[in-house]
Every structure is written in C-alpha cells, then in structure tokens.
Amino acid sequence: MPHATLAAEFVADEPRAHWHDQTLWWARAKRDKAAHCVPEWEQLREAAAQIKAATMANLAHYLEQFEANAMRLGAQVHWAANAAEHNEIVLGILERHGVRWLVKSKSMLTEECHLNPFLERHGIEVVDTDLGERIVQLAGERPSHIIMPAVNFKREEIGKLFHEHLGTEAGASDPNYLTEAARQHLRDKFLAADAGLTGVNFAIAETGGFVVCTNEGNADLGVSLPKLHIACMGLEKLIPRAKDLGVFLRLLARSATGQPITSYSSHFHGPMPGCELHIVLVDNGRSAILGSDEFRRSLNCIRCGACMNTCPVYRRSGGYSYEATVPGPIGSILAPAGDMKRFASLPHACSLCGSCTDVCPVKIDIHHQLLTWRHEIAAHGHLPLTKLMAMKAASFVFRHPWLYRMAGKAARAIVPLLPRFMVYNRLNAWGRQRELPPMPKKSFRRLYRQRGKKAER
Ligand code: SF4
C-alpha cells in the first residue's frame, strides 16, 4: 500500500499521532542537548563521514582483512549473498548444534532477512531479548523504529500485552513493574537457550573483532551462557581501525538517545574457550548500492535513528506506514534500492526540509538522495498516474512565467472563497496535522469579506 494511504490511517487517530510526534521530538531534543555538550561535534561528524567514505572505497580489501583476522582469532566466517542464503547458513549452524531455543539481541539485519519466521518454520523457537523487540514480538508486529522498536506502543497497551502473555496484573501499566516482569520472563529464556545470536554495530578490519551496543546488556547475557554465538552483519558495518571506534561510539549514542554512551559496548574477539563463534557477512543488495554513485553514501549509515526522530513525516505517520524494515528517511533510500516498484511512494514521503541531513552523525546527504530517487522512480515509470499528471501540469506552469503569475493570482482569488470543509476534511489528514495556527471556525469566505471591509474602512 502507498505510504500516503497508511499515513492517513495513522493520523486519523489524532491523539495517538500527536503523542507519537511528541515522543519522537523528545528524543530529538535530547540528541540536540547531547550534541551541544561536545564542542568538537562537527569535527567528529566530518571524521566519521571521511572514515566511512574511505572504507566504502576499499570495502573489498577491508572485508578480506576482517575475515582473515576474525579467523585468526578462532571465529568461523560465512558469506551470504542474500537473505535466503543468510537464513540457510544460520539454520545450518543451529541444526548442526541441535539448537531448539535461540535468544537474539536486536538486529535489524535479521529483521531484513525475516529470520525469525524462517527459523520458527523449522521448529526453532526464537526469543528477542531486547525489551522493545520482545514487546513487538509478543504483539506479532515488526519494529516501528530501529532504535526504539516499540515506540508506537503506549504503556497501557504494553501492560495489556504482558497481562496476556506474561501473566502480569490486569490493568498494570507502571513501567518499573512491567520492566521487572519482562526481566524475570527473559531470565528464564536466557538460562534455557542453546545459542545466542547478535547483530554487529561495528566490525574492525585490523583486529577481526566486533562491537555490539545495547542498553540492557541482553547481548552479553545471551551469548555468555550458551556455547554457540552467531553474529550477523551487513557488509557496511566495517571500520578500518580500532582507533576509529571512538569516533563512532561518541556519535552513535548521542545521536540515538542523547546518552553520552550506550550502557554496554561489548567487544568480541574470537570465541570464548570451549565455545564457537560464527560471523555471517551479508550482502543482500549492498554491493549494488555500493556500485551506485548516487546512493553509495547511504551505506555509511550507523543506524542511530536520529533522522527518524527529527523527520516531520515519520513523526506524524509512524514507522508502519513505510512497510520497510528500516523506516523513515534512510529507509526511504534503502528500500527502493531493493524493490523500486514496491517502495516507489517512500521517497515522496518527504518534505525535503533537510532536517535529517542536518542531524545525521555521518553526514549522509539524505534529502538529496531522496530527491534523486524521485527522479529515478519517475524515469522508470513507477509514478501513479495522478501524481504524474499533477507533476506534468506543474512542470508546464513553471516553464511559462506568465502562466505561473496568472495561476498565482487566480489561486489568491479562489482559495479564500473555498468553503472550509474543502481544506479541513477527513480525506486531507495532513491538513489537520500541520504546525499551523489553529484554523478559525469561520469560513474563508467570511474572513475574506471581513478583511475587505476593514480595508475599506
Ligand atoms: S541515516 Fe544518519 S541519522 Fe539516519 S539512521 Fe543512519 S546514521 Fe542515523
């Protein structure tokens, strides 16, 4: 379904849309405060952008270096060309170890590959151990935000969900009580797990180690108790040197949640004694993006979520309206690269305000890339007919200044005469959500007449 249709459904529940908007804006404000406390913030962003650009320019070299060093440390490295191969590799490892119960820390890559339903079809129970991920898993949903997967759930809804699945008191919505209930519930899962699976935030080519950032410590617990650890990472997670890590860790937490550092930045260098560590390197369309001059920089993304928190469209339309694994501005670049026709509406779900580009810690020119996608989508004939006609009409008007001036005058004369319901109605959901002064109760026509009379006086 196009983004606009799903967004209209979301904003139809006005109080929820407002609450969602305010919640995300709170995260954006925290990010601003945290960034302003670091005088060298802009230098850090520039350094991160340059490190990422250099890495992408030599990605094949760094991947081979990482593989060699990771194997030297005792890890087993696997390469997956796409999601299906990734899932088969993970399943093969789990089956060889007779795993029936897997605990997983947050990994957008495994969401992208739809690993959970795949493993469950093969009789392996998967438990997401990140609290937000566990909430959406119990609800049978997918994450609506990459950092705060359950940001669209109100605490009362979580209370109801936990009452149904974890047996908490009916009507309980106290966050401390619910968190403690989740903690007890997950503890049993950790103790019973046969294997732990994590994502990777940063993989370091020169050492062969990698870093996983969490706030709950669930990745550490999930891989410390079982003897098998599988780490799944997209090719773009590489950084060349250990000394580069400080740049990204300082940027990531501040951009994501406004914290100076994530509570746990866990470093893994080879398997623990008597254990196995498997690293699965996944392409799944990344090489194609790397080969594109226009969109290569989107691979620099460190998945902080800051562009979502600041985006006026994401905040008011919710993560599910994007229907992509990664929603929001960066998701609207990545998703059409995988399936241009299906996600053709996403680059249009953007006001081109540039706020995403301003906050991005690795200086991705997000709104420019979204504009480029619009051109690509139009060139490939994926625009809906109504939009195509409207754009052709606009293009014609813009190419004829006399027509443009006449249209402006006509609009000025006609719009004030329109009845109020033509602007503020159920179909025009955006009209009710804009940050404009409240619409006066009087119709445009009456206001126009009054203004005319005042002018005469
Ligand atoms: S594009 Fe930039 S702001 Fe958005 S998630 Fe990625 S790193 Fe963060």
What is the average per-residue pLDDT within 352-377?
96
φ and ψ at residue 132, rounded to 5 degrees? -60, -40
For the domain covering 38-284, report its CATH number. 3.40.50.10420
What tens digit of pLDDT does each residue of 1-44 get?
889 899 999 998 999 999 999 999 999 999 999 999 999 999 99
Q: Flag whether pLDDT at 426 surpasses 80.
A: no
Q: How far is the CA of 68 from the centre of ligand 1 (A)?
A: 29
DSSP code at position 295? T
What secondary structure does DSSP assign to 153-210, as a single string?
A: S-HHHHHHHHHHHH-PPTT---HHHHHHHHHHHHHHHHHH-SEEEE--SEEETTTS-E
Q: Answer whether 362 contacts ligand 1 (Cβ < 6 A).
A: yes
Number of C-beta neighbours around residue 173 at 10 A: 17
Residue 123 backbone class (left: φ over 0; alpha: ψ -120 to 50; beta: rest): left
Residues 323, 147 contacting (CB under 8 angstroms): no
Which residue's CA is the closest to the ligand 1 atom numbered 4? 307
Which residue's CA is the closest to the ligand 1 atom numbered 2? 360
The region of weakest confidence among 97-101, 233-237, 438-442 is: 438-442
Segments of 8-124 assigned E as strands: 76-80, 101-104
Please, what is the end-to-end C-alpha distance for the chain in angstroms? 53
Listed in sequence order, the DSSP H helices in 73-150 are: 83-96, 108-112, 115-121, 131-138
Nearest to 53 by CA among 232, 306, 290: 290
Written as one letter, the residue type at 31 is R
Written as one letter, the residue type at 56 is M
Residue-level pLDDT at 388: 87
Q: Which of 364, 368, 370 is the best mutation target for the ligand 1 pocket, counting ligand atoms within 8 Å of the beta carbon and taking the most?
A: 364
What is the average per-residue pLDDT within 218-222?
93
Q: Which of 255, 309, 334 is the best mutation target for the ligand 1 pocket, counting ligand atoms within 8 Å of the beta carbon and taking the most?
A: 255
Q: How far is the CA of 112 from the centre of ligand 1 (A)?
A: 17
Residue-level pLDDT at 1: 85
Q: Flag whether pLDDT at 235 surpasses 80.
A: yes
Q: Flag whether pLDDT at 344 surpasses 50.
A: yes
Question: 280 pairs with which residues across the strands?
Answer: 78, 232
Q: Tell me the domain boundaries of the chain.
A: 38-284, 386-456
Residue-level pLDDT at 412: 79
For residue 359, the ligand 1 atom closest to its alpha carbon is 3
Residue-level pLDDT at 423: 65
What tens digit of pLDDT does each residue of 352-363 get?
999 999 999 999
Residues 68, 210 contacting (CB under 8 angstroms): no
3-state percent helix, strand, coil for the chain, nearest multiple of 5: 60, 10, 30
Percent of the chain predicted with pLDDT > 90: 84
When pLDDT is cut at 50, 70 and 90, the band that residue 455 belongs to is: low
For residue 146, the ligand 1 atom closest to its alpha carbon is 5
- From residue 87, give the alpha-carbon distance in Å to each of 70, 232, 405, 445: 21, 10, 58, 62
What distance in Å separates the CA atoms of residue 342 and residue 325, rounded to the nearest whole number?
13
What is the average per-residue pLDDT within 258-271?
95
What distance in Å separates the CA atoms of residue 294 and residue 374, rounded to the nearest whole number?
12
Q: Answer whether 252 contacts ligand 1 (Cβ < 6 A).
A: no
Q: Dihedral of the CA atoms 361, 374, 434, 365 (nearest 10)?
A: 20
Residue-level pLDDT at 119: 97
The Cα angle at residue 58 between residues 52 and 60, in degrees rounded to 5: 120
pTM for the whole structure: 0.88
- The pairing of strands 101-104 and 195-198 is parallel
Residues 324, 346 contacting (CB under 8 angstroms): yes
Q: Answer whether 333 contacts ligand 1 (Cβ < 6 A).
A: no
Q: How far is the CA of 107 from the centre of ligand 1 (A)?
A: 16
The Cα angle at residue 391 between residues 10 and 349, in degrees rounded to 5: 25
**Cβ partners under 8 Å of residue 19, min gap 6:** 154
Q: Which of 326, 330, 350 is the best mutation target for the ligand 1 pocket, counting ligand atoms within 8 Å of the beta carbon and taking the most?
A: 330
Q: Flag whether pLDDT at 227 surpasses 70.
A: yes
Q: Flag whether pLDDT at 372 surpasses 90.
A: yes
What distance in Å separates the CA atoms of residue 227 and residue 436, rounded to the nearest whole number?
57
What tens digit of pLDDT does each residue of 293-310 get?
999 999 999 999 999 999
What distance in Å separates the CA atoms of residue 124 and residue 242, rounded to the nearest whole number?
36
Q: How far is the CA of 26 from the centre of ligand 1 (A)?
A: 17
When pLDDT is cut at 50, 70 and 90, the band that residue 409 belongs to is: confident
**Which element (helix H / strand E) includes 453?**
helix 444-456
Q: Flag whether pLDDT at 446 surpasses 80.
A: no
Q: How far is the CA of 181 from the centre of ligand 1 (A)?
A: 32
Mean per-residue pLDDT over the chain, rounded:
92
Q: How far is the CA of 58 from the centre of ligand 1 (A)?
A: 21
What distance in Å separates the CA atoms of residue 59 and residue 290, rounded to the nearest whole number?
9
Which residue's CA is the closest to the ligand 1 atom numbered 8? 304
- From residue 120, give the alpha-carbon distance in Å to each of 123, 127, 230: 5, 10, 17
- From residue 155, give the alpha-carbon distance in Å to each of 152, 174, 360: 10, 8, 29
Percent of the chain predicted with pLDDT > 70: 92
Residue-level pLDDT at 435: 46
What tens digit of pLDDT does each residue of 132-186 get?
999 999 999 999 999 999 999 999 999 999 999 999 999 999 999 999 999 999 9
What distance in Å separates the CA atoms of residue 61 and residue 6, rounded to the nearest whole number?
42
Q: Answer whether 304 contacts ligand 1 (Cβ < 6 A).
A: yes
Which residue's CA is the closest to the ligand 1 atom numbered 3? 360
What distance in Å separates the CA atoms of residue 239 and residue 62, rounded to the nearest whole number?
8
For residue 255, the ligand 1 atom closest to its alpha carbon is 8
- As given in the structure block, the two tokens for residue 116 are 């959970």
Q: How far is the CA of 29 from the centre of ligand 1 (A)?
A: 16
- As given in the structure block, the two tokens for residue 19 are 């609450």
For residue 329, the ligand 1 atom closest to its alpha carbon is 4
Residue-level pLDDT at 184: 94
- The pairing of strands 202-204 and 210-214 is antiparallel
- As given in the structure block, the two tokens for residue 42 are 């802009």
Residues 398, 357 contacting (CB under 8 angstroms): no
As a three-state string, the secondary structure of 327-365 is CHHHHHHHHHHHCCCCCCCHHHCCCCCCHHHHHCCCCCC
Residue 98 backbone class (left: φ over 0; alpha: ψ -120 to 50; beta: rest): left
What tens digit of pLDDT does each residue of 237-256 get?
999 999 999 999 999 999 99
Instruction: Determine the distance from the C-alpha atom of residue 215 to the mean position of all C-alpha atoms in its chain, rounded to a whole number.
Output: 17
